Chains A and B, each alone.
Chain A
Amino acid sequence: MELSLLMHKLFAATLLCILVCSAAARAAELHVRVVDHKGKLVSDAVVLATAVDPRNALRAKPATDAVDQVDKQFVPYVKPVFVGATVRFPNSDNIRHQVYSFSPAKKFELPLYGGLNAQPVVFDKPGVVVLGCNIHDWMIGYIYVSDTPFFAKTGSAGTAIIADLPPGEYAVRVWHPNLARTEDSTTRRITVTAEDSTSAEWQLDLKPNFRVPRVSGAGSAAYP
């Protein structure tokens, strides 16, 4: 009887192992290319894939990430993170910055600091968090807090790859800081398979990127 129970346990463990290994082996990739309405490649677009089948919605462990400040700019300009992520704000400039956000997804303020002296911030609510510096008004950056662990950001080639996707059907959407329409309006159903990587292309309507200028010859400005 005991031997039979042991055999059952061994069988179950082996089966689980095979299932897990095969799932890993069968992980798929989604390749996305993003262009604007003129066909120009779009960088800094966040592509997000939400599993339609809840069994594929793996719970990822929230990560630790960083948004730096270099030459009075946020680097990177857009940072996607999974909900619950802890983000550090190192300051690589040899001056002090005062980072803040008014966004509903995360309101915070880091008092004037230099180097690595800022407290990390936990982003525990999905949504877009707009970053600013109260000293240098032209500094702007974005943290996209994703509600799905499957996301990627487009580079200068306008492409993003979401790897390690369990095969299945996904609701895929794209967000960009200058998106003219709602993020939901970009949603498409895409099925990814284990055999091949799946490719898709988005054409986004982007609005002009009006930003506070760093330099102005108009005679005066709020800086210095």
Chain B
Amino acid sequence: MRSTLASLTTLTILSAAAHTARADWSLAAAASANHDNNVGNAQAESDKVRDYAASANLSLHELIPLGGGFGVAVGGDLAGEAFDRLDGLNNASISGALSLKKKWGLGAFAPWARGQFSLGREAYQDGYRDATLYRASLELGKRVDERWNLWVQYLFERRDASPAPQAVPGRSSDAFSQDGNNLAATVEFSMSERISLTAGFLWRHGDVISTSLVPWNYLYVAATAIAEDPTFGPDAYAYKLTGTTYGVKLGAEFFVTTHSTIGCSFQHLETQANGGNNYLKSVPEITWNYRF
């Protein structure tokens, strides 16, 4: 709660400062629906839980051009997610972000870099997952021409949750706090005046949470923390593991107007975690985006 208030206060102060400097407001809204065939990141077929989820996001940022190719952006996001079966995962989040962008040269084809820090809070229906989110990222991008656009991103994320009641004596129960290092590269290609295609590649190393209904020995041995996870059932336990994820995401977007798009995507993730807990996940999604 304290960090939520701090985020809001920081956001308000920075927004007010930006507004007085003739800033450039950017208000965007997004909605999506997806199906996750392995919500609990389980390896065993018997542990896999499939579910549908719908989400919405409202984003308000102010861009303050500083001259010399530099610009500061300050803003925040409000988001919500609702699951079809796993009600305990329904969540709302708020975050504030501050970024500094540098563009080398004039025009749409000039290379650019952006460093960003964000602070947020996630609140779940099953409150034991509530967490404060810290994110720091560095992005580099270049639009090659009117049709091709490329960017890469490094992101460090920390999810700081309160430790759950101890489930196994002598073992940490802080299963819902996670650190992760992400590298992502995205290629965007305009197929026609109104359709663009994207391909994204992801590498992530850090903590992952696998939820299982069966106390598999390999999970028990490799886990750095274990906690009860009643969202998935009365006998479910969450195991925090260190793992590496490789992912690919393919998407298509249709430009409905100059302000809005509808799109679809398919993401496939493969994780190799300690203890031999290797799992797969596929997430098809449909999206709608609007920028005022």
Contacts and interface: CB of A to CB of B under 8 A. Distances in A.
Chains A and B are bound partners: yes
Interface of A: 94-96, 98, 100, 102, 109, 111-112, 114, 132, 134-135, 137-138, 208-224
B289 interface: yes
A114 B22 contact: yes
Contact of B261 (A102, A216, A224): A216
Given A100-B107, A210-B190, A215 B261 contact: yes
A126 to B, nearest CB: 23
Contacts of B40: none
Contacts of A222: 101, 103, 108, 112, 141, 143, 151
Interface in B28-67: 28, 30, 61-63, 65, 67
Contacts of A137: 107-108, 143
Interface string B230-268: 000000000000000000000101010011110100000
Interface string B107-123: 11010100000000000
19 contacts: A96-B65, A102-B107, A112-B65, A132-B107, A135-B65, A135-B71, A211-B146, A215-B28, A215-B255, A215-B261, A216-B289, A217-B30, A217-B251, A217-B253, A219-B186, A220-B186, A221-B151, A222-B103, A222-B143
A98 B141 CA distance: 20
Interface stretch (B8-16, B192-200, B273-281): B192-200
Given A102-B106, A137-B143, A220-B141, A214 B291 contact: yes
B193 A218 contact: no
Contacts of B84: none
A221 B108 CA distance: 11
B106 to A, nearest CB: 5
Interface string B133-172: 0000001010100110101010000000000000000000
Contacts of B23: 95
Contacts of A217: 30, 251, 253, 261, 263, 287-289
- Tell me which of A135, A213, A218, A223 has the highest count of chain B C-beta atoms within 10 A of its own C-beta: A218
Contacts of B198: 218
Interface residues of B, number: 51
A134 B106 contact: yes
Where chain A touches its partner, the secondary structure class is loop
Contact of A96 (B22, B25, B101, B260): B22
A218 B255 CA distance: 12
Contacts of B73: 224
A95 B22 CA distance: 6
Nearest to B62: A224
Nearest to A130: B107
Interface string B208-243: 000000000000000000000000000000000000
A138 B291 CA distance: 13
A205 to B, nearest CB: 15
A95 B24 contact: yes
Given A95-B22, A212-B143, A214-B258, A134 B107 contact: yes
Q: Which 4 A-B pairs have the closest CB atoms?
A: A137-B108, A210-B146, A215-B291, A224-B63
B124 interface: no
Given A112-B67, A215-B291, A222-B112, A210 B193 contact: yes
Contacts of A210: 146-147, 190, 193
B48 to A, nearest CB: 26
Contacts of B71: 135, 224
A108 to B, nearest CB: 11
A210 B62 CA distance: 27
B253 A224 contact: no
Contacts of B25: 95
B290 interface: yes
